Amino acid sequence: MPTGRFAPSPTGDLHLGNLRTALAAWLFARSSGSRFLVRMEDLDRVQSSPAHEASQLADLAALGLDWDGEVVRQSDRFDRYEAAIAQLDAAGLTYPCWCTRREIQEAASAPHVGPVPEGAYPGTCRDLDAAGRAERAATGRPPALRLRAQVASATVADDLLGTITAAVDDVVLRRNDGVPAYNLAVVVDDAAQGVEQVVRGDDLASSAPRQRHLADLLGLPAVAYAHLPLVLAPDGRRLAKRDGAVTLADQAAVGRTADAVRELLAASLGLDPGDGRPIELARRFDRTTVPAGPWVPSTALLGG
């Protein structure tokens, strides 16, 4: 059965941008009769907490968004990620990498490396020979494990953005503290959970081509994407806590109910709220009316 999902990281309260993404993902799914899953991306054990998870789920429920089945936690699924790593490893598609963040930055900006897309790994450890690896290993720093990407860039279709072409670099598969990396986990989980449609914030749009490549190498089905433009503060920066009433609790404190917030979010997605019930919104949702630009909530909406 067609399946969509919302996959927050339980590292804080959901803000209006996350809530809008959740509503959009729910509308994409429910308007087409799809299942809708919630997955907690709690690989970051320092920032994630059960309290944040509980408050995020409570906020989704308060908005009237329902989901199918149990909420899945990435922290419970390390064996699946390790199985995928073993598969890539057996195909010769991984290599250990000892680079620190700083070394990566320096290498990426070194003149002889050639242009490296912003944030992409410049490949320093990719072609180390046995002696080079032994030398790096002798530092005692545990290595991360990277994908040996087979293409330099890839293109995916996006329901909201058109097409996305971006660099595919040698993404980290397992961090040097042993924790599986986000790009791997998201690809493994979406496939394992039968997710066909990924609706999420467009801060992850440039990651979609590398995730598609990873799925291809693992022999997993391709998902469809819809990346939603970000929510910006009235001054044009990315919306943040300092901008006012950005969470559902903040909104309640300025006198706005969850139902009213849902109506505002629906309007921001190009939907006339009608009688405002979620199911009614799903009936009328039309992805072609979702605005292409960022949403900038007014100062009044933010309680100012």
d(CA 162, CA 226): 9
Strands (E), the chain: 3-6, 35-40, 72-73, 94-97, 144-147, 153-158, 162-167, 172-174, 197-201, 224-228
d(CA 145, CA 164): 26
Binding residues for ligand GLU restricted to 13-42, rule: CB under 6 A:
41
Query: Which of 4, 7, 179, 263 touches ligand GLU (CB under 6 A)?
Result: 7
Rounded least distance, CB 7 to ligand GLU, Å:
4
d(CA 48, CA 11): 4
Q: Which residue number, 188 or 266, has a Cβ lying nearer to ligand GLU?
A: 188
Maximum alpha-carbon separation in the chain: 69
Is residue 250 part of the contact set for ligand GLU (CB under 6 A)? no
CB 59 within 8 A of CB 25: no
Rounded least distance, CB 155 to ligand GLU, Å:
18
| Phi/psi of residue 247, nearest 5 degrees | -110, 170
b vs e for 22-41, b when ≥16 Cβ sit within 10 Å of the residue's Cβ?
bbbbbbbbbbeebbbbbbbb
Query: Which of 4, 8, 123, 244 touches ligand GLU (CB under 6 A)?
Result: 8
Stretch that binds ligand GLU, among 7-15, 99-107, 158-166, 213-221 (CB under 6 A): 7-15
Q: Which residue number, 41 or 53, has a Cβ lying nearer to ligand GLU?
A: 41
88 Cβ partners below 8 Å, 6+ apart?
A: 94, 147, 173, 217, 218
Stretch that binds ligand GLU, among 5-13, 108-116, 145-153, 282-290 (CB under 6 A): 5-13
Rounded least distance, CB 276 to ligand GLU, Å:
26
d(CA 145, CA 176): 7
Stretch that binds ligand GLU, among 2-10, 233-241, 255-263, 276-284 (CB under 6 A): 2-10
Query: Which of 9, 48, 55, 247 touches ligand GLU (CB under 6 A)?
Result: 9
Is residue 204 part of the contact set for ligand GLU (CB under 6 A)? yes
| Contact string 177-196 vs ligand GLU (x = CB under 6 A) | ---------x----------
Handedness of CA 73, 74, 77, 78 (dihedral sign): negative
Q: Which residue number, 41 or 243, has a Cβ lying nearer to ligand GLU?
A: 41
| Contact string 41-60 vs ligand GLU (x = CB under 6 A) | x-------------------
Is residue 229 part of the contact set for ligand GLU (CB under 6 A)? no
9 Cβ partners below 8 Å, 6+ apart?
A: 40, 41, 42, 44, 47, 48
Is residue 200 part of the contact set for ligand GLU (CB under 6 A)? yes
The site for ligand GLU (CB under 6 A) is made up of 7-9, 41, 186, 200, 204
